[in-house]
Amino acid sequence: MIDKTVQDSSLSSSQLTKTVLSGDQPLTILKAVDLDIKAGESVAIVGASGSGKSTLLGLLAGLDVASDGQVTLLGHDLSAKDEDARAAVRAQGVAFVFQNFHLLPGLTALENVMLPLEIRGQMANRDIKAEANRLLTGVGLGQRITHYPNQLSGGEQQRVALARAFAGQPKVLFADEPTGNLDSTTGAHIETLLFELNEKSNTTLVLVTHDETLAARCQRQFRMADGVLAEVSI
């Protein structure tokens, strides 16, 4: 399943387009997006609500399929791959923080964070538990590890989703509004954790955000407007 022997954490797209059916009319919500992100770069995508940011993130991470164009993630061309093959690419080091968190409701906070480490299968269960505990403590949730998602506030669920994404030091981390539900102090702390991962593990960060401080801290900024992406010179 490996396209190249050399793995990399760069990310690119070429003429990436998404057309959906709106009623019985085709609606193009992403228009020929070209993107070239180097390994270890931090990138912010800003833009109005409904402009196509989450759609783009889902396509770049291989969670959704394009109508046209290509994505290359961790050295793999995603366009030729089915869902299982895309999941196999994601398992090589791609983490995603969803806008609405997507925690598994039947698992506690601790179990949600343990899951990607269990799937990876490289650590003993006791170590996985300790690592998940450490990550949750890192996002300020050391006292909430046995809570289920419906027993957590929106901001707490967001932080569990972030801890889950940090697990196993991903090569590429996509996050859709990672500080959207947090107060400014907690948001600043999460920002620190994101950039620590970027600096220490060379994790490529692709962040969708309305948070200007967070966007300004990224090396590159892009603006989405009506499905068209343009780089902002900073």
Interaction site with Mg ion (CB under 5 A):
54, 99
**Is 53 a binder of ligand ATP (CB under 6 A)?**
yes
**Is 25 a binder of ligand ATP (CB under 6 A)?**
no
Minimum gap (Å) between residue 51 Cβ and Mg ion: 9
Q: Of the two residues 141 and 208, which places its CB atom closer to ligand ATP in the complex?
A: 208
CA distance 77 to 37: 15
Minimum gap (Å) between residue 193 Cβ and Mg ion: 22
Here the contacts of 78-86 (C-beta below 8 Å, separation 24 or greater) are 85/1, 86/62
CA distance 68 to 66: 5
Q: Of the two residues 47 and 116, which places its CB atom closer to ligand ATP in the complex?
A: 47
**Is 29 a binder of ligand ATP (CB under 6 A)?**
yes
Q: Which two tokens stand for residue 17?
A: 């387009």
**Is 31 a binder of ligand ATP (CB under 6 A)?**
no
CA-angle at 111, arms to 106 and 117, nearest 5°:
130
* Among the residue ranges 3-11, 44-52, 68-76, 154-162, the one whose residues contact ligand ATP (CB under 6 A): 44-52
187 binds, among Mg ion, ligand ATP, none (CB under 5 to 8 A by kind): none
Which of 2, 20, 85, 225 binds ligand ATP (CB under 6 A)? It is 20
Per residue in 20-38, is it b (16+ CB within 10 Å) or e — as a string? eeeeeeeebbbbebebebe
* Among the residue ranges 51-59, 100-108, 118-126, 160-168, the one whose residues contact ligand ATP (CB under 6 A): 51-59
SS3 label, residue 43: strand
Q: Which residues contact 219 (CB under 8 A, 6 or more apart)?
A: 41, 42, 43
Interface positions with ligand ATP (CB under 6 A):
20, 22, 29, 47, 49-55, 99
